Amino acid sequence: MGVEWELQLVDARTLDLFDGILPLMEFFPDSDHVKPEFIQSCVELTSCVAGTSDAAIRHVGRSLAKILQRCRELEMSVCGAGLHPFCRRLVLITPTPRYMQLEKNYGFLAYRQMVFGTHVHVGMRSGNEMIRAMSHLITALPVFIALSANSPFWRGHETGHAAYRHRILAASPSFGLPVRFRDWTEFVSFYNAALKSGMIRHFKDIHWDIRPHPDFGTIEIRAMDAVSDLQSLHALVAFSRVMAVCMARASKEEVMRVLPLELPVWIEKENCYRAAHRGLKAEFIYSETGEHRPLRGLVEDLIDFCEPAATDIGERKNLAHVRQVLLDNPGYSRQLNAYAENQSARAVAENLERQLMKEEQHFSSAA
């Protein structure tokens, strides 16, 4: 497994987004684990190929300590959230061939993608297993959205959404709900047609909330906002790994004991919207006739359902942290509380910065 964590580069004085990836990368010219992303105010930390979430988070934590040190030398700082709470300007695109092509394809939409996510890769044993896991996980995407929701502010405004990042991405092609496939052969047929038609140049141009990653042999869960601290990241990564393994192993009949599968597209779309809007307070529609239940209850049921698989792969303790960390103190609530106490979007950014500074202290003392 592996994790990708997109963090915000901000000016150390103003805490506004700062286009600082190019000078930062001069300190990491050959790194496979500190990388530029689409916009120049983002740095991506990627873990090693890890056997457990514990190993992945330890690796990311060491990289985080290094970039925080280098950012100080460049008069920058770092925050973790799905959107910056108050930045109003357009940002610069990172000048790589692929990103320049995306800028050309997207036009002005490219400059609105000031978004930051958490992506988790989980290894699969075959293409068909990957497609089975993906098919089962599509209905569960609202759970991932709500647990990671961490973007309630946009351009200094309280949006009324727990994860407003999803509304920004909805304007661009190939984001959001994925297509369902019966098997790996059907996915390959789709991929070849998409290439031939010019819809994509590479499978990385498919930005679904969950997608196969043939280069790595993984399923990649991409629906999550960037979280604000390593404890939240650890809980989210463990949950993602356990869910992917459980859904790959389980039969359709077993999954349907806890999660309805193949709901109409309008319901799946509405459930994702509700999760991004209301977070863990959302109501989840589970039938074609409109019956619904609290999404938080579905999360609890999924944790219980996945517990045997978590034990098998050494993640039971980390799965339990989902309740303690993500359910009890979600990222969007922490941002809203910081704003309520100070009536200031800057105070939200200050709180986000402090959360990562604590992580650096932990890894420095551990060293």
pLDDT band at residue 366 using 50, 70 and 90 as cut-offs: very low
| Beta-bridge mates of residue 213 | 218
Confidence band of 367 (pLDDT split at 50, 70, 90)? very low
Please state whether beta strands 76-79 and 2-11 pair in parallel, antiparallel, or not at all (unpaired): antiparallel
Q: What's the pLDDT at 112?
A: 85
Judge whether residue 338 has pLDDT over 60: yes
* Beta pairing class for 76-79 and 210-213: unpaired
What does the DSSP 8-state code read for residue 322?
I
The span from the CA of 338 to the CA of 341, in Å, is: 5
| CB 102, CB 110: distance < 8 Å | yes
Q: What is the average pLDDT value for the chain, to the nearest integer?
A: 94
Q: 223-278 pLDDT, tens per residue?
A: 999 999 999 999 999 999 999 999 999 999 999 999 999 899 999 999 999 999 99
Name the pLDDT band for 130 (thresholds 50, 70, 90): very high
Contact 364, 183 (CB under 8 A): no
Q: What is the structure's pLDDT at 204?
A: 87
If one compares 364 and 100, the residue with the highest pLDDT of the two is 100
CB 154 within 8 A of CB 164: yes
Least confident among 32-41, 45-54, 167-176, 188-197: 167-176
Total count of domains within the chain: 1
Write out the residue range of the structural domain in which residue 154 sits: 2-366
Q: What is the CATH number of the domain that holds 281?
A: 3.30.590.20
The string of DSSP codes covering 33-78 is SEEE-SBTTEEEEE----SSHHHHHHHHHHHHHHHHHHHHHTTEEE
Rounded CA separation 257/79 (Å): 40
pLDDT of 24? 98
- Span 127-153, mean pLDDT? 97
More confidently predicted of 204 and 331: 331
Q: Give per-residue pLDDT as tens, 21-57.
A: 999 999 999 899 999 999 999 999 999 999 999 999 9
Is the CA virtual torsion 61, 67, 71, 73 positive or negative? positive
Q: What pLDDT does 361 receive? A: 61
**Confidence category of residue 63, pLDDT binned at 50, 70, 90:** very high
Question: Residue 290: enclosing H or E segment and its boundaries?
Answer: none
Average pLDDT of 109-121?
Answer: 94
Q: Is the dihedral of CA 284, 287, 289, 293 positive or negative?
A: negative
pLDDT tier, 364 (very low <50, low <70, confident <90, very high otherwise): low
Q: Give Cα separations from 314 to 54, 218, 311, 320, 325 (angstroms).
A: 10, 19, 5, 12, 19
**Environment class of residue 26 by beta-carbon count within 10 Å: exposed (0-12), middle (13-18) or buried (19+)?**
exposed
Top pLDDT among 357 and 317 is at 317
Return the minimum-mean-pLDDT range out of 257-261, 351-355, 357-361.
357-361
